[in-house]
Chain A
Amino acid sequence: MTTPLLEFRGVRAGYGVIDVLHGVDLTLEPGQVVALLGPNGAGKSTTLAVASGQIRPSAGQLLIAGREVNGAKPDALARSGVCLVPEGRGIFPNLTVAENLRMMTFSGTSFNEVADKAFTLFPRLGERRKQLAGTLSGGEQQMLAMARALSTDPALLMLDELSMGLAPIIVEKLYEQVAELAEGGLSILIVEQFAQTVLGVADTAAIMLHGHITRTGPPAEIAEELTAAYLGID
């Protein structure tokens, strides 16, 4: 029996006096891709913020690789291999592509290694290495965000709203990349509001509503229930 790479046990968390997660239970096994779906305001991004150490749970347990890590600092988790690509991409718009990649040498990896990996995965970034990141297209910015994340050799990758603001064809290409990463054994937790593409690459899907995981199951089953869940139909 394997130890789950990421596990939420009855996690409650929020912002100041406002609780957003009201007892979340979620498990991500090694090498698995889990899609966390739900409408705006359900608590999906907060779940990722808790998993990456940015928000401490007020109750419950957050376990990573079998160890309870409530209270672990986000930089320590990032160094160990927990990597979050945040909503809005989290790149530095006023820096060039190369400078953005240089920021990822914090983990001790040389710039050449980071750049080689990024430009191999996303050749288009190599062509635009001297361009300001803020002037890239939405898809290229998302590629840069993913390249930055993957350059640190993460063990657990979390993607927040990968498809946000992107054309469907770009989203499809990005998810092809995600599928390749998953085939390579990387464990991935994907948060999405719009589900169709992500369900194609996920092993398991979960629906989140009002700070609870209301349903977990195979993507095909979840797809059928998704519309009803979003509209609040039983």
Chain B
Amino acid sequence: MTNETNPRLQEFQAQVDDLKLAGGKANPERTAVRLSVVLFVVAVIIEIRAYVGSTGTENEFAQNDYLILAVLGVVVALGAVALFIRASLTRYFRYWLVRLVYEDRASTDRIVDAIKES
């Protein structure tokens, strides 16, 4: 049977063609955790650069620029930490939910078995 001759398959083909795809990335939490680690490393580099730069000059204007850079580094670090916590909690709660569903099913099966045996 070909796709062209079966109306249901033609309809199915049209519906699949209309599907909206979310992008196809597997395990978004893992990507987010990796991104947060990279961001944190970048933040540390920014802070070191700001420290080395500010201690290496007596020009107050330049020190102000390094101060701003240091604040930016703190913001990036805080963002990285927030992203890490968010992704880790999402992963943890997903497994927790799966576990709850599994235990609920197992519990129902046990109850049904007990009813049948009684």
Contacts and interface: CB of A to CB of B under 8 A. Distances in A.
B108 A93 contact: yes
A22 B79 CA distance: 35
B12 A77 contact: no
A171 interface: no
Interface stretch (A35-43, A67-75, A191-199, A212-220): A67-75
Interface stretch (B23-31, B47-55, B60-68, B70-78): B23-31
Given A30-B2, A155-B9, A71 B21 contact: yes
Given A31-B1, A94-B108, A185-B1, A155 B19 contact: no
A94 B105 CA distance: 10
Interface string A137-181: 000000000000000010110000000000000000000000000
A65 interface: yes
A30 B26 contact: no
A82 to B, nearest CB: 8
B3 A3 contact: yes
B105 A88 contact: yes
Given A65-B16, A69-B21, A77-B19, A134 B26 contact: no
A56 B26 contact: yes
B6 A70 contact: no
A72 B6 contact: no
Nearest to A29: B1
Contacts, number: 89
A66 B26 CA distance: 21
A85 to B, nearest CB: 15
Given A30-B6, A56-B26, A185-B6, A79 B15 contact: yes
A13 B3 contact: no
A142 to B, nearest CB: 14
A13 B27 CA distance: 10
B3 A67 contact: no
Interface string B94-108: 000000000001001
Interface residues of A, number: 36
Contact of A67 (B19, B91, B112): B19
Contacts of A70: 21, 24
A110 interface: no
Contact of A16 (B9, B91, B112): B91
Interface in A183-213: 185
A112 interface: no
Interface in B4-41: 4, 6, 8-9, 11-13, 15-27, 30
Given A30-B6, A71-B21, A80 B16 contact: yes
Contacts of A77: 19
Contacts of A31: 1, 6
A5 interface: yes
Interface string A49-66: 000000111100000111
17 contacts: A5-B3, A17-B30, A30-B6, A31-B1, A55-B26, A56-B24, A56-B27, A57-B26, A64-B16, A65-B3, A67-B16, A69-B21, A71-B25, A80-B19, A81-B15, A155-B8, A155-B11
